[in-house]
Amino acid sequence: MEQKSRQRRGFSLVELLVVISILSVLIGLLLPVLNQVRRQSRVLLGVNNQRRIVNALNCYPLDNRGFYPESVATITFGTSWHWQEPTMMTACKPRPPFTHRSVSAYLRSYITEAGTLFCPNAPRKYKYLEQVWEAGDDWDNPETSFLADPVFGTYCFYWNYVGFLGDGEAPFRGPQDMSGGQSDLLVSDYFGYDHHRSPDSYGSCERFAGASITFGTEVSSAYWSLLNSDGNVALETLNIKLHAGFTDGHVERFRSLEVVPMKVSITPNGSVPYPSGVGLGPGDFYLPEIVLR
């Protein structure tokens, strides 16, 4: 009887405290490793997203006489128009007749999952992402009174896009077809400065040290941002790791100091920038400097 009693005895309080202490130490050691694995997984997913976008875009010309899709990053007013942010996934209206206003209408046959067009490191997923991708040109946001709502995402799309690079500089011109041209950049993570939704701030879909969230709206996605109104934060101190996809199919990594600023143009030829601080001025969009070498 005495032997059975000893066998059934539970843990003492001291033994439980020792076990809890050991588990706490192990958890403390494992959490940083798990967080690093999570971050690396999101990086790999983002690279895979861009690779799938590039592959889809390189399939499109095979079915369309060798040309990439038209850019949807435009604003239309009757017969006149100007450029909009390269993050645009769906425009308000098509520019010329018979031209689609959504990336989805061009690429849905090649990309079935809406999440492919969204950076996995962005702080929030756009509420209607799947519905936007399925609706294509027919997208109409149920939360607004507009009949044709724009949608702004977290990647920058540069095929058939024209942007302002500076006085005396030739405009940036994205690839028009598979024969090559001034630039072979097709897609990149969003990284910019002084957007109207976060004035005097750096912004990116990739999370970086000290960043807070610029929340999305009915028509736009959330991103990470860091105020720099006094100009004390230099690009090299941000150390943001970004990725971009090119016409030859590869996705390349670049850092926040390896960039060139581009402004949205209010002229079709990229010669005049959108005025800073006026209305909904979109600020700078940073291109990987490799595209201009």
Q: Quick: pLDDT tens for 124-154.
A: 999 999 999 999 999 999 988 887 889 999 9
Q: What is the spatial distance between Cα 111 and Cα 105, in angstroms, rounded to a whole number? A: 11
**pLDDT for the residue 68:** 95
**pLDDT for the residue 145:** 84
pLDDT tens per residue across span 45-98: 889 999 999 999 999 999 999 999 999 999 876 667 889 999 999 998 777 788
Contact status, residue 95 vs residue 162, Cβ threshold 8 Å? no
- Sort 140 into a burial class: Cβ within 10 Å, 0-12 / 13-18 / 19+: exposed
**pLDDT for the residue 105:** 95
**pLDDT for the residue 97:** 80
- Sort 280 into a burial class: Cβ within 10 Å, 0-12 / 13-18 / 19+: exposed
Hey, how many other C-beta atoms are within 10 angstroms of the C-beta on 271?
Answer: 13
pLDDT tens per residue across span 232-247: 888 888 989 999 999 9
**pLDDT for the residue 181:** 65
Q: Which long-range contacts (CB under 8 A, 24 or more apart) does 222-226 make?
A: 222/122, 222/123, 222/124, 222/126, 223/122, 223/123, 223/154, 223/190, 223/198, 224/122, 224/123, 225/195, 225/198, 225/201, 226/201, 226/202
**pLDDT for the residue 35:** 61
Residue 38 has pLDDT above 50, yes or no: yes
**pLDDT for the residue 27:** 73
pTM for the model stands at: 0.86
**pLDDT for the residue 148:** 82
Hey, is 160 helix, strand or coil?
coil
Contact status, residue 123 vs residue 223, Cβ threshold 8 Å? yes
pLDDT tens per residue across span 185-197: 999 999 999 999 9
pLDDT tens per residue across span 171-223: 999 999 987 667 899 999 999 999 999 999 999 999 999 999 999 999 999 99
**pLDDT for the residue 176:** 93
**pLDDT for the residue 1:** 47
pLDDT tens per residue across span 270-287: 999 988 766 567 899 999
**pLDDT for the residue 279:** 58
Q: Give the pLDDT mean for 157-172.
A: 94
Q: Give the pLDDT mean for 12-41.
A: 70
